[in-house]
Amino acid sequence: MRILFLVFFTCTILLSNALSNDGEKLYKKCLGCHGKDAKHAPFERQNGVLYGRDKEELKLIMQAIRDGHYKEDKLNKIMRKSIKNFSNSDIENIVQYIQTL
């Protein structure tokens, strides 16, 4: 039983690290506007600061922007072009990474 637990625990840690690395790689597309610490407000719009935001809120907003269901202004069109090919899993990984900043 202990061996099974150790194997499960090790796999969980390895998977978590892999997802975090994927999120970090994907977040590189976001650096220009949101900054490496996710504290930058793109074009001085404070609602664009990602740092400290609720995980579920970030996921829902990113999915809505990607799918074209969020306020269609110039900045969100830029964001939509940047993430249009992101899967829900990609968004989850980015949000996970942002939570580590």
User: pLDDT digits over 11-38, tens only?
Assistant: 444 344 444 468 999 999 899 999 999 9
Q: Which domains does the chain have, with CATH numbers?
A: 2-99 (1.10.760.10)
Q: How far apart are CA 7 and CA 14, in angstroms?
A: 11
Q: What percent of the chain has pLDDT over 90?
A: 50
Residue 93: pLDDT over 90: yes
Average pLDDT in the 49-56 region?
93
Contact 77, 95 (CB under 8 A): no
Average pLDDT over the chain reads 81
* E strand or H helix at 91: helix 88-99
Q: How far apart are CA 90 and CA 8, in angstroms?
A: 24
